[in-house]
Structure 1
């Protein structure tokens, strides 16, 4: 295939960045050929300044029937992701979708089914998967160096957001416009990494979400969740947008040691022998396994959004393996949906979650369905 002709759907802060990356020749084998947007002024300005002819559409059907694109990047508010992706698949187009995959897993499952039926390339914009730091964490776990996972703790409170941020767009931090708060917006990447590096989904969780605790918003801005796994491992996930200064610390313990990710570094406390083996053999009363503190070197650079787009294009043109397969977007969303549902029910939520019950409870939160536009 010659250059993949890409159309960007939605032209807000992320849509413009993705378009600029393609237009700036940061992506090999791709050409920006079209933009679908409801508010055309910014797109028209981009087109005029680009020096090349880019078709700007305001009508979905005209865009999808134009024959001007081979693939789309969806960068709209969350509720539109699934419907637009399904429509793209039905028109034989490849899809790269911004995070999160959607608002509720039921709609994302439909998107995944449409992807499978179309046999087109489907990827998610989980750009943190390009970070060599988290790739190394995944490698240490999947290779068995950490042993069997026993505990996962992540405090991620450094995504501070002021009231002015929430006031910047009417769809932000509303059930009707965004479908959630810190979990679905700021923590989509961390919840994706949580299950991606470990290769594990919980069996059940109990969460405590606070809605509008620090800001005048409808949705959650403070969360503490406790998770349990089939192998006996547990996890604690803590996040908020209302603390400063914040913390970003990931700690994963296994029976072969402990991993800590903080301040851009990775430390591995590696046991000389596994904890179960030490416990079986040691007869001295007080004591603990010998361990070595290793500051793990991290090679390579984070390629971020351009890296995911390049990987998407390479998958289309060269059949390269996807770093962030679209079908995996449902995993992190299931975690955030479960945390909200647990709070609403004031009870444990088991996996797989009751998708119909979550959808029913979400609709109860939506009082006025706003007239959202692509931005």
Structure 2
């Protein structure tokens, strides 16, 4: 199979991290970059030796120089960018959260099926070796009674916010906030492991800009619950834990699971950690290109269903805490 020629939308820090990981894959080829300004496109192209640069998305999608696109634009643009790409037959790897709401996610999935293109949520954590260790050893802890995940990371942009400057991370018009940016790291693995919850309860601290600064969720499942905490205005260093009747699984970071430990009720413990490369966004590229090599159009881990359920949970939580986006109004929501 020939190389997969990628275009990238966005020239920010997350794109830099994506490229650092992607360049470990022998069949990844960086062919094009899109930016709203010629200056940024030219600067990024020169930095990464990219042969083609664009300031018009349709021009890049119709150029014939890319097979796939990595979308790292603001969340409010994800659906429109992804749908436009797929309508040109371009496969899509979309940064999290892949959409502003479940309606947009459904439209993206429907477009992927209609155009026979691969659409995948760029949620790296569930594709990392550490998460694989969790899945492979989950049965060893017996009946699961609780999933606990915490991702609380003080944002440097919050200092600017408190000083009176509202940056993108805290703008509702870009479909941002703690739940969308941070909380999804707790929700997505819960969905991958346990599916759709029977109930969702959410609370949050709302900022004056209109987005949430921090919050928590309780997902109810038959016989168990998932307790999730997220924040962009505080830090937390507590480990993540899956509690079973026969033992526990401990994970260092839910957003980047590397250290995984099994502790059985009788006292025995086992290190289940697996080797992980530092540029860990490689694993989503590996999954994506692997699917294309096999002629598949959906990941079994970062599946369409997992992505849709996650967005439905977020929609329900947003309704409870009063977090609204202009993207919701686009559908009369």
Whole-angstrom distance in 1 between the partners of 2:18 and 2:38? 17
- CA distance in structure 2 between the aligned counterparts of 1:123 and 1:62, rounded to whole angstroms: 23
Distance in 1 of aligned mates of 2:59 and 2:165: 30
Q: In the superposition, relative to structure 1, how do residues 363 and 45 fare at CA in structure 2: closer, same or farther (>3 Å)?
A: closer
Residue of 98, 103, 125 corresponding to 2:100 = 103
Report the Cα distance in structure 1 between the residues aligned to 2:112 and 2:20, rounded to whole angstroms: 27
Partner residue in 2 for 1:3: 3
Q: Tell me the CA shift for residue 241 of structure 1.
A: 2.2
Residues 93-172 of structure 1 mapped to structure 2, 5 A cutoff: 93-141=90-138, 144-157=139-152, 159-162=153-156, 163-164=158-159, 170-172=167-169
Q: Tell me what 2:66 maps to.
A: 69
The answer to whether the 8 A contact 1:224-1:238 is kept is yes
Which region of structure 1 is more displaced relative to structure 2, 166-175 or 329-338?
Answer: 166-175
Q: 1:176 maps to what in 2?
A: 173
Q: Look up the SS of the partner of 2:196 in the other structure.
A: coil
| Equivalent-residue separation in structure 1 for 2:196 and 2:291 (angstroms) | 27
TM-score, length-normalised on structure 1? 0.76
SS at match of 1:88: helix
Aligned length: 319
Say if 1:165 and 1:185 are closer, same or farther in 2 by CA, change over 3 A: farther
User: 2:36 aligned with 1:38, yes or no?
Assistant: yes
Q: Does 1:18 align with 2:23?
A: no
Which residue among 203, 209, 219 is the counterpart of 1:208?
203
Structure 1 vs Structure 2 CA RMSD: 2.7
Decide which of 189, 205, 227 is 2:219's aligned counterpart.
227
Name 1:249's counterpart in structure 2. Answer: 239
Structure whose alpha-carbon radius of gyration is higher:
1
CA-CA distance at 1:148 after TM superposition: 2.3
Residue correspondence of structure 1 range 52-91 to structure 2 within 5 A: 54-91=51-88
Task: Work out whether 1:29 is the aligned partner of 2:27.
Answer: yes
Q: Distance in 1 between matches of 2:318 and 2:53?
A: 38
Correspondence for 1:339: 317
Alpha-carbon contact 2:166-2:209 (below 8 Å) kept: no
Counterpart CA distance in 2 for 1:221 and 1:92 is: 38
What are structure 1's unaligned runs of at least 5 residues? 272-290, 345-357, 367-375
Shift of the alpha carbon at 1:175?
Answer: 1.4
SS at match of 1:114: helix
Q: 1:257 to 1:9 in 2, by over 3 A?
A: same
Q: 1:338, 1:189 → 2: CA distance? A: 17
8 A contact 1:75–1:98 mirrored in 2? yes
Instruction: Confirm or deny: 8 A CA contact 1:97 1:123 kept in the other structure.
Output: yes
Q: In the TM superposition, what whole-angstrom CA distance separates every residue of 1:204-253 from its partner, at most 9, and x where no partner exists? A: 122111102xxx64211121222211x23122212222224x22422222
How far has the Cα of 1:26 moved from its partner?
Answer: 2.4
Say yes or no: does 1:240 pair with 2:218: no
Contact 1:101 1:330 in 2 (8 A): no
In the alignment, structure 2 segments of 5+ residues that lack a partner are none
Cα deviation, residue 186, structure 1: 2.0
- Over 3 Å counting, the alpha-carbon distance change for 1:7 and 1:47 in structure 2 is same
Higher helix fraction: Structure 1 or Structure 2? 2
